[in-house]
């Protein structure tokens, strides 16, 4: 891991979202340098499933820094140019936090890195001059620039395939390098006969037609999941996307195999999501998309949607 150098000694670091997880880890890293800590967080009372409050974090005398949403970075970097540096920091893989446990379910931690990697990456940014501003930074990339080569030290389960982050299109090298040894790319199942689809028309049917034309054995191997869509509104109903059977398949109605993930949303939002106009993560967080089943497999579908965008 990246060692502390003391460069932040005497600096004041104001950090929001400081009660737990990534924010708290960044606080710990900065405080070890002797930084003055200012903590801001909305959690004042303990949550039954999300441990940590602003008071328990303050008891450890450490500070945190919260990166802003990417959409704010460019404008704020220009507005405060020469005075305050503004950068966005994103993880390359899923980071193990209490929230990730809630979303991903049992066993998801083995596919995650520890919060320490974000703390080390943020520390790298803190050490840079104010002229380093308006950048979009991935944790692994900036640490490589600092000479870090062994990233297994950041893994919850060293050597295990890692789950890619929600917001990045690229796959971590460890995913493709280690997948075979962990059975992440199982043998193809023989294609099962699906019930004949009913005659449909409209934007949803056209979207599924394009998806079907884009399927390949490689996509099926990389995904290995059956998705069911419960769509409300015009041209809605139950649809499926089978990425387990050889070659893959789509259609109207329920899949012949039990769905690994069931997604419920309106037909309008479904079309927007597959055409790249609505991020699945944003749809989920705003309540437009409801998900039941394996969250890790739901995340895999987002990468496939990104591949579809240019065709929809």
* DSSP 8-class letter at 140: H
Q: Which of 65, 56, 2, 67 is nearest to 31 (CA)?
A: 65
Catalytic residue among 62, 67, 123, 252: 62
Give 310's contacts (C-beta < 8 A, 6+ positions apart). none
Q: What secondary structure does DSSP assign to 183-239, as a single string? A: TSSPPPBPPPPPPPPPP--SHHHHHHHHHHHH--HHHHHHH-EEEEEEEESTT-EEE
252 is catalytic: no
* DSSP 8-class letter at 110: G
* DSSP 8-class letter at 295: H
CA distance 277 to 269: 9
CB count, 10 Å around CB of 38? 14
Give 191's contacts (C-beta < 8 A, 6+ positions apart). 245, 246, 247, 249
Tokens 């970097």 found at: 77
CA distance 214 to 293: 25
Q: Which of 114, 118, 69 is nearest to 91 (CA)?
A: 118
CA distance 21 to 186: 33
Catalytic residue annotation: 62
């Amino acid at each position: 891991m990246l060692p502390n150098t003391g460069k932040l000694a005497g600096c004041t670091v104001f950090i929001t979202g400081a009660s737990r997880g990534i924010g708290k880890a960044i606080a710990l890293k900065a405080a070890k340098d002797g930084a003055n800590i200012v903590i801001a967080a909305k959690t004042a009372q303990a949550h039954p499933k999300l441990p940590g409050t602003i008071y328990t974090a303050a008891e450890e005398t450490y500070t945190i820094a919260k990166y802003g949403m990417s959409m704010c970075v460019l404008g704020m970097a220009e507005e405060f140019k020469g005075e305050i540096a503004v950068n966005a920091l994103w993880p390359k893989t899923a980071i193990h936090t209490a929230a990730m446990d809630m979303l991903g379910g049992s066993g998801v931690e083995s596919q995650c890195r520890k919060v320490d990697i974000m703390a080390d990456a943020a520390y790298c940014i803190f050490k840079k001059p104010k002229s380093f501003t308006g950048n979009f930074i991935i944790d692994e990339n900036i640490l490589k620039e600092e000479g870090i080569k062994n990233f297994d030290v950041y893994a919850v389960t060293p050597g295990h395939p890692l789950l890619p982050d929600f917001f990045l299109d690229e796959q971590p090298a460890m995913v493709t390098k280690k997948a075979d040894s962990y059975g992440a790319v199982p043998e193809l199942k023989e294609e099962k006969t699906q019930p004949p689809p009913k005659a449909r028309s409209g934007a949803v049917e056209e979207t599924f037609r394009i998806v079907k034309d884009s399927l390949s054995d490689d996509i099926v191997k990389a995904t290995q999941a059956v998705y069911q869509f419960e769509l409300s509104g015009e041209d809605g109903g139950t649809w499926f996307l089978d990425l387990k059977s050889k070659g893959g398949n789509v259609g109207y109605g329920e899949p012949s195999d039990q769905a690994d993930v069931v997604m419920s949303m309106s037909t309008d939002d479904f079309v927007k999501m597959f055409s790249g106009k609505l991020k699945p993560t944003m749809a989920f967080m705003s309540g437009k998309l409801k998900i039941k089943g394996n969250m890790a497999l739901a995340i895999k579908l987002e990468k496939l949607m990104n591949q579809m965008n240019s065709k929809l």
